[in-house]
Amino acid sequence: MGVPFTSVNDLYTALRAVTDHSRPAYDGEIVGALNFGYKETIRAIASVRSEMFASYVNNFTLKANTREVDVSLLDPPLLRPTRLTAQQSGRNTAILFRYRALYHSEYEAAELMQQTGTFNTILYDVLQGKFPGLTTTTTGGTPPLNFHVNVQDITNFPAGTFVTLPLPARSIMSTVAATPQPTLTEPYYGVVTTASGTALALNPAITTTVPTALTVTALRRVIIRCANPPTQDTTGQLWYQYRPPRLVNLTEIIDPIVAEHQDMLLFYAISMYLRAVNDTEASSWLQKAQLLKSELMQDLEPLSGQNSESLDSGLWGLG
């Protein structure tokens, strides 16, 4: 399709050019269909060359005997770690990460016995959930008109951080008719919308006076859970595979790795969009997308030979 698209709006326009004759455009459905194509393309690329979505962060520290490592704030977001390269005692060393589910028997054995087959290999799982993490304390005072909460340190509380406070009561949305939660009966949960200076703006807004020295806790959403953490602090360069974010706005920039395979993305999206109304052309677009996927899986790693992850992959065929 010529020059690679750079934004979601480019894909949106191309999809409408094909489908408007068949059904009226509905933006929410179109974005959903584009996300379907986006994820299918990412999955195909990652199945052959997962390092295409590689990133790293310098001066990353694995604390000694620490099983849970907070990676919520990594940018781009972490999908899974691969290795930590460091210098220890004047020599280069590498700690490799090998995935095992939290309840896998090998993970549990390593967790209990503190050993694995290879000294520099850590068994891990990446968990997403409401895990208590970093904290700061409030400095008190009556909230200003925009209902910020003043805190001692906002370093680890950027916009989007899920936090909890022991009080005050939750506020309800102004458009919802409901009884507010009684004060002091349950903790407050909210999301940081902006962080500036010493102030956190939260949603839902806190409209009452916040006392001094309350603990604001970041509820970590992504952690690396190590079955057999290192016995000494290790600082180095963490290599990991990142997770391309879901498409939301038409002005968003498409991940450049994915943009190189825009035809496949668009064909999948068109097939999904037309399938919703049982348009007979949907299967034709799906066939085109699958052919491009097969071509990608054969050509992306031509020198891999029998070691290619694409061989015997479940992605072959039309599924």
159-169 pLDDT per residue, tens: 888 998 886 54
pLDDT at 306: 47
pLDDT band at 4 (very low <50, low <70, confident <90, very high): low
CA distance 117 to 106: 11
What is the arithmetic mean of pLDDT over 63-92? 86
Q: Tokens 């190189």 appear where?
A: 260
pLDDT tens-digit map of 14-69: 888 888 877 666 788 889 999 999 999 998 888 777 778 899 999 999 988 888 99
Report field, pTM of the whole predicted structure over 0.85: no
Alpha-carbon distance 206 to 143, whole Å?
Answer: 8
Are the CB atoms for 265 and 278 separated by under 8 Å?
Answer: no
With beta carbons less than 8 A apart as the criterion, state whether 8 and 249 touch.
Answer: yes
Rounded to an integer, the average pLDDT of 1-14 is: 76
Residue 298 CA to residue 304 CA, distance in Å, equals: 10
- pLDDT tier at 126, thresholds 50, 70, 90: very high
Nearest to 136 by CA among 150, 152, 124, 125: 152
pLDDT for 149: 85
What is the Cα–Cα distance from 40 to 47, expressed in whole angstroms? 11
User: Is the pLDDT reported for residue 121 higher than 80?
Assistant: yes
- Using the predicted structure, report yes or no on whether residue 1 has a pLDDT greater than 70: no
Percent of the chain residues past pLDDT 90, beyond the cut: 20
Q: Quote the DSSP letter at residue 176.
A: S
Q: Which pLDDT belongs to residue 315? A: 44
68 alpha carbon, distance to own chain's centre: 17
Q: What is the mean pLDDT of residues 238-259?
A: 88
> CA-CA distance, 216 to 140, in Å (whole number)?
12
Neighbouring residues of 285: CB distance < 8 A, sequence distance ≥ 6: 267, 268, 270, 271, 274
> Exposed, middle or buried by CB within 10 Å (0-12, 13-18, 19+), for 128?
exposed
Tokens of residue 231, six digits: 């016995």
Q: Looking at residue 173, what is its pLDDT?
A: 54
Residue 94 pairs with which residues in a beta bridge?
85
Residues 6+ apart with CB under 8 A from 143: 149, 206, 207, 208, 209, 210
Q: What is the largest CA-CA distance in the chain?
A: 68
Whole-angstrom distance between the N-terminal and C-terminal Cα of the chain?
26
Q: What is the pLDDT of residue 118?
A: 45
- Chain position carrying tokens 């068109």: 270
pLDDT digits (tens, 9 = 90+) for 187-216: 888 889 888 888 888 888 877 777 788 889
The answer to whether 86 and 239 have CB atoms below 8 angstroms apart is no
Ordered by start, the domain boundaries in the chain are 8-51+245-301, 53-131+223-242, 135-217
Is pLDDT larger for residue 292 or for residue 211?
A: 292
Q: Mean pLDDT lowest for which of 9-18, 106-115, 123-132, 267-276? A: 106-115
CB 247 within 8 A of CB 62: no
Residues in the chain, how many? Answer: 319
Whether the predicted pLDDT of 293 surpasses 80? yes
In this model, does residue 232 exceed pLDDT 50? yes
